[in-house]
């Protein structure tokens, strides 16, 4: 027999299937990882097919050297998925297959954890053993007595209690045998698991019944606090009852202890948690439990969509609007597209949940691609918090030059006086975002990347967030020598410092990229805030999502407009989502909530609709704008990005690719809404010049056209220029 093998090497030249002989004594099946010799070296590979004979001269075929695992790592569905992803995203097979297994499995860097256990030999009776050891060997006698009462005991426990030399003597005599037991590493053992059993609200009941009726795609549009999680739990319960499995995706940042607790509490060890905070061993064990069918629910961030589950009955994407569902580095893919593939393959339901559906998903629902389910009320009819939009220009006119409006300071003080909690949200990281000269307007930028640098107060350095370069902080403006060079805006650290002066008794916690670099620091900050160890949580985007803090009654949004000016077509949608999500943190339990939203453009329609919780109104306005300006969902945006250290090379590559795309355009007149080549917004990153071709395609034959673009770009065979084709890129820097 012959195996079709994809070698685990990511290179264009070897991105195909190679035939290997299966030795008589080796039992190989499709999906197994194997060791093969390739060229002059040994490498790992994936078996993707088995056939009787090869079209190559079989006397020249090399044999498979060995099987690598005692399980089949790639389930059949994933081999189909590999083909689908290769076609859709033009990825290399090895890169795709790597997504399907724990990273450390490659190269055998992770194994199942085993512990040594010991038991008495059955060759002799206990009495015989006892009488044949010296009477002074008290420890040996004690071990025999101890082991005679149990089936087995951990070797470490015996050694600790009676000493390892006594144990070794017994092993030498053949009285005690040691053997190994596999022990699973269970992540977050400290999670207690809250076993709540709730009777469903009417909205929840309706949602569950609708979803359970027929398999299909659903958009669960439920306001913050409407109890979407309970709907997910109930739906998963009935999926399990049918003997099927489920995948539940959440944005990394909202995979909070509470979320995990609720799943553990409801489903116990049937849940596998896939979190970036897991150790390699824990991740591997959770993955293996899924593969072996010991765990039937995968809960995790984006990559959990590749969970090795068979017979999937439901896939849930919570906070479906979240940008983290797009993988923006190689391998690039959209999680939702993968989820649709897996749902279709398994005949499973796909549920997209959000309080602020993406414009695209809502549009799909209005056109019947998915079924819309509304949950317009909060659980127990709790009120949505009142949102007050404050005009910061007015504040300045009235003589308030601080970054806190009067409404903000009053709201915060009132919550603190009542012993309630508050959250303060701002849209960036570090002490401030950039340094600008107030006299000549000069902004300090990175020499490699042409983006403004960020001042980090902790070590008093200017840093580039793209390439990591660091610079000393200048005392005067490098251009005009003026001393009025300042930090552009304030970050979380400065806000905490200023607030501490205003409220000396209050206890503060900060949460942003700087305070959450440690493995579990992000969870520990959230836990201590939830436990009431602080009164105010000050943070960036990270505090916006999904968290449920019952004691929070006041939320302040210091600079709601920041995200309006990112300059991409989704800025307004993102701002609406952010404001709604942040506001949704307030008043989730019995206490009513208040939100103060500060803005320099308070009359923008996004704040009008957000403060009234009018998603539909916002949607109608926004979808109109999209239609007129020809942006998604009415078009598909494709960017071809070119990067190289040589500007000449990048320029000529862009030109050649543009010519090739124009050739394709000739066959599809009318399908191209626009097509343009230009320098990228960030002109250089890590010393590489960046150019791009941007195009908008009508949504009809776009898949066909994109496939042709991939082929055309590959045919250019450019060596010293990196080329990346992105579909609907989320980040256009
Ligand atoms: P969402 O994800 O829609 O914002 P959650 O699922 O976090 O909302 O639910 C909000 C709160 O309401 C949680 O504290 C949850 O325990 C509670 N809750 C959900 N469903 C019910 C119910 N049927 N009865 C009582 N409390 C509920
Ligand atoms: Zn200056
Ligand atoms: Zn840089």
Q: Which residue's CA lies nearest to atom 12 of ligand 1?
A: 227
Region of 108 (left: φ > 0; alpha: ψ -120 to 50; beta: rest) is left
This prediction has a pTM of 0.83
Q: Which of 353, 379, 380 to mutate to test the pocket of ligand 1 (most atoms within 8 A of CB)?
A: 379
User: Each residue of 375-430: pLDDT tens digit?
Assistant: 999 888 888 889 999 988 788 778 887 889 999 999 999 999 999 999 999 876 43
Distance of CA 364 to the CA centre of its chain: 24
Contact 329, 304 (CB under 8 A): no
Counting from 1 in the atom list of ligand 1, the atom nearest the Cα of 258 is 7
pLDDT of 466 reads 61
Distance of CA 67 to the CA centre of its chain: 32
CA neighbor of 716 nearest in space, from 677, 675, 672, 663: 663
Contact 421, 594 (CB under 8 A): no
Which ligand is located closest to the Cα atom of residue 481? Answer: 2
- CB 548 near ligand 1, within 6 Å: yes
- CB 201 near ligand 1, within 6 Å: yes
Which ligand is located closest to the Cα atom of residue 483? Answer: 2
- CB 230 near ligand 1, within 6 Å: yes
Q: Classify 720 as helix, strand or coil.
A: coil
Counting from 1 in the atom list of ligand 1, the atom nearest the Cα of 222 is 3
**Run of H or E including 421:** strand 421-425
Whole-number CA gyration radius for the chain: 30
In the reported structure, the alpha carbon of residue 465 is separated from the centroid of ligand 2 by a whole-number distance in angstroms of 23
Which ligand is located closest to the Cα atom of residue 442? Answer: 2
Which ligand is located closest to the Cα atom of residue 687? Answer: 3
In the reported structure, the alpha carbon of residue 434 is separated from the centroid of ligand 2 by a whole-number distance in angstroms of 14
- CB 587 near ligand 1, within 6 Å: no
Q: Which residue's CA lies nearest to atom 15 of ligand 1?
A: 227
Q: Which residue's CA lies nearest to atom 5 of ligand 1?
A: 227
Contact 446, 459 (CB under 8 A): no
CA neighbor of 14 nearest in space, from 129, 108, 93: 93
Which ligand is located closest to the Cα atom of residue 549? Answer: 1
- CB 222 near ligand 1, within 6 Å: yes
Contact 72, 32 (CB under 8 A): yes
Contact 6, 94 (CB under 8 A): yes
Q: Classify 221 as helix, strand or coil.
A: strand
In the reported structure, the alpha carbon of residue 436 is separated from the centroid of ligand 2 by a whole-number distance in angstroms of 8
Q: Which of 219, 228, 230, 320 to mutate to test the pocket of ligand 1 (most atoms within 8 A of CB)?
A: 230
In the reported structure, the alpha carbon of residue 195 is separated from the centroid of ligand 1 by a whole-number distance in angstroms of 13
In the reported structure, the alpha carbon of residue 300 is separated from the centroid of ligand 2 by a whole-number distance in angstroms of 48
Contact 454, 514 (CB under 8 A): no
What tokens were used for 339? Answer: 């989820």
Contact 64, 38 (CB under 8 A): no
**How many whole angstroms separate alpha carbon 667 and alpha carbon 423?**
55
- CB 551 near ligand 1, within 6 Å: no
What rounded mean pLDDT belongs to the chain?
A: 88
Q: Which residue's CA lies nearest to atom 18 of ligand 1?
A: 227
- CB 512 near ligand 1, within 6 Å: no
**How many whole angstroms separate alpha carbon 454 and alpha carbon 458?**
12
Q: Please report the domains of the chain, with CATH numbers, ordered by start residue.
A: 2-108 (3.40.1440.60), 113-183 (no CATH), 202-379 (3.40.50.300), 382-431+490-626 (3.40.50.300), 635-727 (3.30.70.1130)
In the reported structure, the alpha carbon of residue 379 is separated from the centroid of ligand 1 by a whole-number distance in angstroms of 6
CA distances from 123 to 34, 61, 127, 427, 650 (A): 40, 50, 12, 72, 77
In the reported structure, the alpha carbon of residue 554 is separated from the centroid of ligand 1 by a whole-number distance in angstroms of 19
Q: Which residue's CA lies nearest to atom 19 of ligand 1?
A: 227
- CB 140 near ligand 1, within 6 Å: no
CA dihedral of residues 441, 566, 538, 355 (deg, nearest 10): 160
- CB 224 near ligand 1, within 6 Å: yes
Distance of CA 514 to the CA centre of its chain: 18
Query: In sequence order, which ranges of 540-691 are alpha helices (DSSP H)?
Result: 571-583, 605-611, 615-629, 647-667
**How many whole angstroms separate alpha carbon 48 and alpha carbon 366?**
40
Sign of CA dihedral 80, 84, 89, 91: positive
User: What's the DSSP call for residue 306?
Assistant: G
Q: Which residue's CA lies nearest to atom 20 of ligand 1?
A: 227
In the reported structure, the alpha carbon of residue 503 is separated from the centroid of ligand 3 by a whole-number distance in angstroms of 38
- CB 354 near ligand 1, within 6 Å: no
**How many whole angstroms separate alpha carbon 162 and alpha carbon 141?**
10
What tokens were used for 582? Answer: 């942040």
Buried b (16+ CB within 10 A) or exposed e, 286-306: bbbbbbeeebbbbbbbbbbbb
**Run of H or E including 87:** helix 76-89
Burial of 14 (0-12, 13-18, 19+ CB in 10 A): middle
Q: Which residue's CA lies nearest to atom 13 of ligand 1?
A: 227
User: What's the DSSP call for residue 81?
Assistant: H
In the reported structure, the alpha carbon of residue 318 is separated from the centroid of ligand 1 by a whole-number distance in angstroms of 14
Which ligand is located closest to the Cα atom of residue 465? Answer: 3
CA neighbor of 133 nearest in space, from 177, 173, 161, 176: 173
- CB 261 near ligand 1, within 6 Å: no
Distance of CA 567 to the CA centre of its chain: 24
Region of 211 (left: φ > 0; alpha: ψ -120 to 50; beta: rest) is alpha
Strand partners, 644: 689
Q: Classify 305 as helix, strand or coil.
A: helix
Strand partners, 21: 2, 63
Which ligand is located closest to the Cα atom of residue 222? Answer: 1
**How many whole angstroms separate alpha carbon 332 and alpha carbon 252?**
17
pLDDT of 517 reads 61
CA atoms within 13 A on the CB side of 640: 28
What tokens were used for 682? Answer: 């960030």
- CB 729 near ligand 1, within 6 Å: no
Which ligand is located closest to the Cα atom of residue 444? Answer: 2
CA dihedral of residues 453, 454, 456, 461 (deg, nearest 10): 10
What tokens were used for 276? Answer: 């970036």
| Residues of the chain scoring pLDDT < 70 | 185-197, 253, 256-257, 428-434, 438-441, 449-451, 458, 465-468, 487-490, 513-520, 545-547, 562-568, 588, 732-733
- CB 204 near ligand 1, within 6 Å: yes
Buried b (16+ CB within 10 A) or exposed e, 159-185: beebeeebbebbeeeebbeeeeeeebb
In the reported structure, the alpha carbon of residue 224 is separated from the centroid of ligand 1 by a whole-number distance in angstroms of 9
- CB 227 near ligand 1, within 6 Å: yes
Q: Which of 229, 317, 582 to mutate to test the pocket of ligand 1 (most atoms within 8 A of CB)?
A: 229
User: Each residue of 165-201: pLDDT tens digit?
Assistant: 999 999 998 999 988 887 776 666 656 556 666 789 9
Determine phi and psi for 693, rounding to 5 degrees: -110, 125
Q: Which residue's CA lies nearest to atom 14 of ligand 1?
A: 548
Q: Which residue's CA lies nearest to atom 2 of ligand 1?
A: 228
Q: Which residue's CA lies nearest to atom 25 of ligand 1?
A: 198
- CB 225 near ligand 1, within 6 Å: yes
**How many whole angstroms separate alpha carbon 715 and alpha carbon 718?**
8
Contact 644, 722 (CB under 8 A): yes
- CB 319 near ligand 1, within 6 Å: no
CA neighbor of 613 nearest in space, from 576, 663, 651, 650: 576
CA atoms within 13 A on the CB side of 358: 20
In the reported structure, the alpha carbon of residue 647 is separated from the centroid of ligand 3 by a whole-number distance in angstroms of 17
Sign of CA dihedral 472, 477, 482, 485: negative
* Sequential DSSP letters for 114-181: EEEEEEE-SSS-HHHHHHHS-TT-HHHHHHHHHHHTSS-EEHHHHHHHH-HHHHHHHHHHTSEEEEEE
Burial of 142 (0-12, 13-18, 19+ CB in 10 A): middle
In the reported structure, the alpha carbon of residue 683 is separated from the centroid of ligand 2 by a whole-number distance in angstroms of 23
Which ligand is located closest to the Cα atom of residue 485? Answer: 2
Sign of CA dihedral 607, 608, 613, 614: negative
- CB 245 near ligand 1, within 6 Å: no
Counting from 1 in the atom list of ligand 1, the atom nearest the Cα of 226 is 3
């Amino acid at each position: 027999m012959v195996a079709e093998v994809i070698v685990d090497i990511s290179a264009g030249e070897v991105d195909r299937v190679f035939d290997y002989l299966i030795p008589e004594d080796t039992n190989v099946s499709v999906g197994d990882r194997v060791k093969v010799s390739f060229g002059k070296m040994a490498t790992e590979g994936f078996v993707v097919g088995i056939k009787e004979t090869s079209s190559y001269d079989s006397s020249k075929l090399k044999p498979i050297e060995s099987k690598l695992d005692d399980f089949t790592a790639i389930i059949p569905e994933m081999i189909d998925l590999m083909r689908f992803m290769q076609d859709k995203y033009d990825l290399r097979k090895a890169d795709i297959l790597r997504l399907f297994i724990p990273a450390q499995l490659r190269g055998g860097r992770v194994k199942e954890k085993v512990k040594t256990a010991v038991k008495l030999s059955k060759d002799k009776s206990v009495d015989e053993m006892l009488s044949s050891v010296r009477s002074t060997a008290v420890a040996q006698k004690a071990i025999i007595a101890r082991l005679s009462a149990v089936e087995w005991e951990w070797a470490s426990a015996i050694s600790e209690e009676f000493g390892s030399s006594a144990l070794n003597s017994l092993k030498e005599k053949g009285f005690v045998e040691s053997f190994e037991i596999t022990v699973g590493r269970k992540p977050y053992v400290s999670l207690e698991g809250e076993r709540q059993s709730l009777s469903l609200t009417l909205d929840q009941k309706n949602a569950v019944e609708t979803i359970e009726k027929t398999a299909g795609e659903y958009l669960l549009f439920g306001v913050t606090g409407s109890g979407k999680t309970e709907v997910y739990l109930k739906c998963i319960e009935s999926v399990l009852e049918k003997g099927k499995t489920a995948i539940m995706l959440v944005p990394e940042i909202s995979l909070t202890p509470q979320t995990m607790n609720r799943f553990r509490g409801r489903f116990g060890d049937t849940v596998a948690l896939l979190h970036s905070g897991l150790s390699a061993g824990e991740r591997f064990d959770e993955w293996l439990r899924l593969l072996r069918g010991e765990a039937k629910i995968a809960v995790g961030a984006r990559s959990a969509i590749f969970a090795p589950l068979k017979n999937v009955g439901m896939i849930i994407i919570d906070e479906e609007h979240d940008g983290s569902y797009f993988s923006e580095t190689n391998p690039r893919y959209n999680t939702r597209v993968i989820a649709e593939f897996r749902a279709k393959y398994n005949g499973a339901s796909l549920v997209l949940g959000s309080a602020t559906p993406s414009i695209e998903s809502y549009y799909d629902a209005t056109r019947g691609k998915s079924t819309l389910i509304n949950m317009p009320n909060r659980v127990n009819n709790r009120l949505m918090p009142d949102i007050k939009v404050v005009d910061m220009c007015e504040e300045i006119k009235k003589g308030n030059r601080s970054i806190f409006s009067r409404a903000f300071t009053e709201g915060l003080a009132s919550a603190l006086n009542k012993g309630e909690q508050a959250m303060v949200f701002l849209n960036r990281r570090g002490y401030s975002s950039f340094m600008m000269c107030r006299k000549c307007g000069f902004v300090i930028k990175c020499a490699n990347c042409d983006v403004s640098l960020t001042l980090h107060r902790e070590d008093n350095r200017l840093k580039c967030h793209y390439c990591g370069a660091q610079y000393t902080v200048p005392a005067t403006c490098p251009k005009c020598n003026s001393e009025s060079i300042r930090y552009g805006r304030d970050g979380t650290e400065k806000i905490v410092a200023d607030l501490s002066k205003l409220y000396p008794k209050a206890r503060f916690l900060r949460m942003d990229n700087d305070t959450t670099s440690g493995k579990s620091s992000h969870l520990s900050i959230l836990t201590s805030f939830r436990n009431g160890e602080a009164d105010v949580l000050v943070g960036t985007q990270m505090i916006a999502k999904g968290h449920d803090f019952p004691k929070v009654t006041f939320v302040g949004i210091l600079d709601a407009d920041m995200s309006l000016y990112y300059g991409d077509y989704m800025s307004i949608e993102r701002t609406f989502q952010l404001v709604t999500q942040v506001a949704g943190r307030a008043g989730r339990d019995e206490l009513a909530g208040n939100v103060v939203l500060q803005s320099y453009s308070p009359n923008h329609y996004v704040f009008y609709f957000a403060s009234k919780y009018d998603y539909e109104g916002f949607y109608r306005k926004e979808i109109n704008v999209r239609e007129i300006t020809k942006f998604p969902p009415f078009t598909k945006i494709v960017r071809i990005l070119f990067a190289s250290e040589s500007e000449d090379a990048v320029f000529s590559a862009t030109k050649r690719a543009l010519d090739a795309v124009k050739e394709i355009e000739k066959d599809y007149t009318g399908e191209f809404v626009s097509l343009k080549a230009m320098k990228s917004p960030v002109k250089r990153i890590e010393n590489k010049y960046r150019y791009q071709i941007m195009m908008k395609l009508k949504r009809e034959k776009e898949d066909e056209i994109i496939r042709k673009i991939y082929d055309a770009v590959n045919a250019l065979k450019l060596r010293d220029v990196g080329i990346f084709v992105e579909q609907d890129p989320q980040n256009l820097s």
